[in-house]
Every structure is written in C-alpha cells, then in structure tokens.
Structure 1
C-alpha cells in the first residue's frame, strides 16, 4: 500500500468518483469514501488526524497500524510525496460494515426518488433508524465525536413515527423499532409508544403538472430545465430530468414564471432560482408550492420591455435552482440506474427502507 499527499493530508490514494457518486463516512481521524455503484473498487481513506485513528489495527492489522503511524508520525505531507508501506493492505472485511453505513448516509442525501421516473421514495424514519443502529454497532470507529457518529439526531426526529411503525404488523419493522428503542434508552431519547402520527407516504405532494407555456398559453417563450441535485437540499424535488418548467410572460412588466416538480417530502420555500438567457437575467425564490415569479432585466439591469422580450432569442435559456454546481445529466442517470437495480433485486446490503420500497405497489 502507498500513502500519498492529498490536499495537505495523507491518503491511501484510492480513486473514487466525486459527489453525487461517492458515499462518505467520517470516522475518528479519517474520512472513508467509496464509489456507490462500484462495490469492488477500493475505499479511499484520507487521514485527518492519524493520532485519533485508534481503529487502524482493525483495518490494516497490528503491524500495518504500526507502519502507518510511523510513516505519518505527525508530519504533513509535501506535495506529490509518496510513502511505500510494503506488506500493508486494507481489510475489505473490516471495512464492509462501514461501507454499508456510508451507503446509508448516501441514501439519505442522494436517493433519486421520482414519481415521473417510477423510483419510490424511501421511508425516512426507517432509514434513519437503521443508520442509527449501524452507527451504534460501529462505535469502535467513533472513539471521539465526528460528523457521522451522532445517533441522537438520527432518532429524535422520528420517535413518534417509529412508534407508529411498530404497529404496522411487519416483524422486520417491529424488530428494527425494538432495537431503536433500546438504543434510544441508552442515549436518553423518549420513544412515545402512544404516538399516532402517520409515517408512510404512498404518494407525492405534486408533480409539475402540464408543461408551462406551449401553444395558446400566451407566453412569449417557454421551456424546461433540470435540477442539479448537488445544488439543492435533499428530499425536496422530484429527481427526474426536465422537472423545471419556465415561461416568459408580459404582465405589467416582463416576468418569468418558474415551477419545479416536488417530491412532497420537504418544502422548497426560499430556495433561489436564477434564469439567464444571454444578457437577459432574472432572480427569484421558490414558494412552498415550488413556484417563483420574478422580473426579467437586461444587461444594464433595466426591466426588459415587452418589445425586447418578443425580439429576444430564448433558445439558450437556462434555469438554475439552488446553488450553481457542475453536474452532468449522465451522472444523475447513472444514479437512477443504480437505484433501479437495488429496487428490482435488493442486494445483501440493502436497507429495510429499500426492501419495503421494492415490495410496495408504487
């Protein structure tokens, strides 16, 4: 094995895909990363503080732990520096439960739930519950606090939902809720057994509806665009392509009307929307229904006139929802393919939320 310089830190040098194709887990003293749809590709390990990584012997063996500790010895690597550690290798068996835990966190952030694409949403309460149980089981890798070691934040929001789930009659669900109850007792969370809140969603709040604009709509121009997943919070928007619908209208002024298809699992209220078409631009924010109406201005930031709007070429118009990020449609389709494969034949590392989604009549 080699240790290489990676942005001022030591790394094992394994190559993984960038987000949203990477599952990441922060353990004590290191960050572990895997490409989600390539289970045979090696994990990337980047050491943030090797002195805190008391778990190294579990992954590299006792001799490997000693060799890694001696190689880094509190020193930051120089650019392009490499250290060969002969005879040291990573135990894939030791990392397997951590990979599954990282995958669970990835599912929370990147699962491409879509009514349009027929990809069922995952039950958030059950997913977080299973991640919490796996986190507790991996405490040997969380000897101090990390971003991913916190159990309370996973369970506390779902106490009522999990209590309601316990009455579903599915023994798999009941077993998970029982384990969460024991864990909740350990961390001081009250699990309300009398809670009656509904937990399972069998539909979505809304889809984008008919195409914006179009023949006879009275719009000056209209079109569609897609949401970049990395630019928005998780679980809010339908994850299909071309779910952003826009049109240009002449009212008291020239305005853009944007509507984005929602998943129904969160509110888009306040998320920024930016429209650009050459030198013509507009900025607004979505409301709770995924709609935004805002004025269009020219290069001098003056309100665009109706005459100018009719004469403008709107063919290259783009609409950005949320932050501007570099993300390709091919990457998103790769993730949809991954999700569909897990639903059609849940693998051994599938979470209960995935299994139930696969079994549903969605």
Structure 2
C-alpha cells in the first residue's frame, strides 16, 4: 500500500473529490473520507497522529497496523510503500456509513423545485448517535464526529414526539436513542410537538417566500445559483437558479434587491450578500425571509445614481450568497443524481430518514 506526505500528514494514495461530494469522518488520529457517488471508492486516510490511531488493527489486522505505524514513523516525507497491507472492507463499511450519515446532514440537496425531499434531521441525528456508540472503538479521543450527547440533545423532544406518531420503525429507533441517552445525561422527558420532515405543501410555502417580483420597476434583473459550500446547511433550496436579483431605483439612487428560495428549518438571517457589476459593488445581509436590499456603490464608493443605473449594461452582474468559494454546477448535479438514486433504491447503508422521505407524499 502506498502512502504520500501531504501538508505534513501521511495519507493513503486514494483519489479525493470536491468537498460536497466527499463524506468525511474524524476518528482518533486520522480523518477518513470517501467519494459519495462511488460505491466502490477507496477510502482516503489522512493520519493526524498515527500513534493515536489505535483502531487501525480493526481494518488492517495486527501485523498491518504495526507495519504502517512503524513505516510512517521512520520514513522521511515523500512516498512510502508498505508491502502486504490491505484494509478489511466489512470494517470500513461501518465507518463509511457513519461518514455518509454526517454527509447527509451537511450536504443533502433538499429542493422543492427539484423534488428532492428534506430528511428529518432528528431521525438522522438519532441514528448517527447509535452508530457512533457502536463504533466507540474508533473514538478513543474526542473528535469532531464522536460526541453522542451533542447529536442527541438538540433533538430529544422531537424524537420523543415523533415516536408518538405510531410508526414502529421510528418507535424502535427512539427507544434505542432513549436507552443510549441514559448513559450520556440527555433527557427524553419533555416532548412538546412532533416535528416532521416537510410535506409538499410545507415546502411550497417555504419556496414561495423567496419568489421574485417586487412592485418597483426593475432597471435590470437576473438569476444566480447558491454555492453550497458557501452557506450553512438546511437553509436554501438546492436547485440551480434560486437567487433572483433586480436593480431598482427610487428616483435618486440604485439598489439591488436580492431574493433567495429557501428549503429547510434553518434561518438565512445574517448571511452575507455580495453584488458586483464591473466597478459597481454592494454588500448586504439576508433577512429571515431570505431577502436583502443592497446599496450599490461606484468605484469611488459613492452611491450609484438613477442615471448611471439606466445607462449601464448589467448583463455581467454577479450575485454571491455567503463566502467566496469556487464550485461547479456539474458537481452539484452529481450530488442531486446521487440523492435521487438513494431515494429510489435502498441499500445496506440507507438511513430511516431516507426511507421515510421516499415514502412521503412530497
């Protein structure tokens, strides 16, 4: 098996893809990752501390574990071959499913427009907590993905309420979560109202809140897309073209009115909006409805006048939501195709939240 040194860390020489296509799991002493739409994709392991990776024998055997740690400790930076080492596919399948569950919470492309249903985050978190507890041998140290209580606590009330709806699959999952919670100090004693994944009508209302079409006459208008890696999860409709913008004037100065289409429970309030058209720029923030009115400034940082607005060509205008990241529509299309496949064809790594989403009338 070949290892290479990357940014001061030893890693396996396995291909990696763009972040929204990569499922990641941090275990003790290493970060594991897989390309999500490659069912036979090799695991990529980046060792943060090979000595702390005491679980390595579980996937490489005792001799393989010893050979890898010894070789990495002795070798200089560069490339390294460790002969006779292979990874156990069955053991890795458990870890890949855990990584995939975290990916579902972070990158699932819920979209009313595209017909991709939202996944119930409480159910996902509950099942992930159970999977994490069953893989405790990989989490000798605290890691970003190992906190069972952090997974359960925000969803205790919703999980208990969901169990009362009568689906035995949900009831069994919640009962297991409640038993696990006793060991973590999380209370399941205060259910209030059931919070379910959205129905078609729910998402129609949310999507409609971001629809374009103000009363003012537009100087120019256009459409843009949200870069998923630029924004928090579970906020925006994941389809293309969900940002509508138009330049308006009030008789003196010009502003850009930006409206986004939403999907999910999280609020867009406070997320940055950047508008650029040549030397004209503007920065604002979305409100809770996913809209923003952005003051436009010229290259001298003066307000753009009505005359300037009407006389310029706005066709090259770019509108960005969130931080500045590079991301291709083709990559997002791959994620959508992967999500649709998972809703249509269940496998050993399917989560209950996916099953219920596929069964819903979304």
Q: Partners in 2 of 1:56 and 1:196 — Cα distance? A: 43
Q: Partners in 2 of 1:327 and 1:217 — Cα distance? A: 33
TM-score (norm 1): 0.96
The alignment status of 1:249 with 2:248, answered yes or no, reads yes
Query: Which runs of structure 2 are paired with 1:200-219 in the superposition (5 Å)?
Result: 200=196, 201-202=198-199, 203-204=202-203, 205-208=205-208, 210-212=211-213, 218-219=217-218
Tell me the CA shift for residue 256 of structure 1.
0.7
Quick one: which of 77, 86, 96 aligns to 1:99?
A: 96
Q: What secondary structure is seen at the aligned counterpart in 2 of 1:3? A: strand
Q: Answer yes or no: is the 8 Å Cα contact 1:114–1:238 preserved in 2.
A: yes
The alignment status of 1:16 with 2:16, answered yes or no, reads yes
Per the alignment, residue 194 of structure 2 pairs with 198
Q: Partners in 1 of 2:192 and 2:185 — Cα distance? A: 21
Q: What secondary structure is seen at the aligned counterpart in 1 of 2:141? A: coil
Spell out, residue by residue over 1:124-175, the C-alpha distance to the aligned partner (whole angstroms, 9 max, x if none). 1000000000000000000111111001111001111011011111111111
Per the alignment, residue 140 of structure 1 pairs with 137
Per the alignment, residue 290 of structure 1 pairs with 290
The alignment status of 1:235 with 2:234, answered yes or no, reads yes
Q: What secondary structure is seen at the aligned counterpart in 1 of 2:26? A: strand
Query: Which runs of structure 2 are paired with 1:41-190 in the superposition (5 Å)?
Result: 41-73=41-73, 77-78=76-77, 81-190=78-187
Q: Answer yes or no: is the 8 Å Cα contact 2:211–2:260 preserved in 1.
A: no
Change (3 A) 1:121 1:63: same
Q: Answer yes or no: is the 8 Å Cα contact 2:111–2:118 preserved in 1.
A: yes
Tell me the CA shift for residue 77 of structure 1.
4.4
The alignment status of 1:223 with 2:214, answered yes or no, reads no
Tell me the CA shift for residue 285 of structure 1.
0.2
Q: Partners in 1 of 2:163 and 2:291 — Cα distance? A: 37
Per the alignment, residue 347 of structure 1 pairs with 347
Q: What secondary structure is seen at the aligned counterpart in 2 of 1:180? A: helix
TM-score (norm 2): 0.96
Q: Answer yes or no: is the 8 Å Cα contact 1:36–1:103 preserved in 2.
A: yes
Q: Answer yes or no: is the 8 Å Cα contact 1:16–1:43 preserved in 2.
A: no
Q: Partners in 2 of 1:146 and 1:217 — Cα distance? A: 51
Q: What secondary structure is seen at the aligned counterpart in 1 of 2:218? A: coil
What 5-or-longer segments of structure 2 have no aligned partner? none
Tell me the CA shift for residue 347 of structure 1.
2.1
Q: Answer yes or no: is the 8 Å Cα contact 2:212–2:259 preserved in 1.
A: no
What 5-or-longer segments of structure 1 have no aligned partner? none
Query: Which runs of structure 2 are paired with 1:253-332 in the superposition (5 Å)?
Result: 253-332=253-332
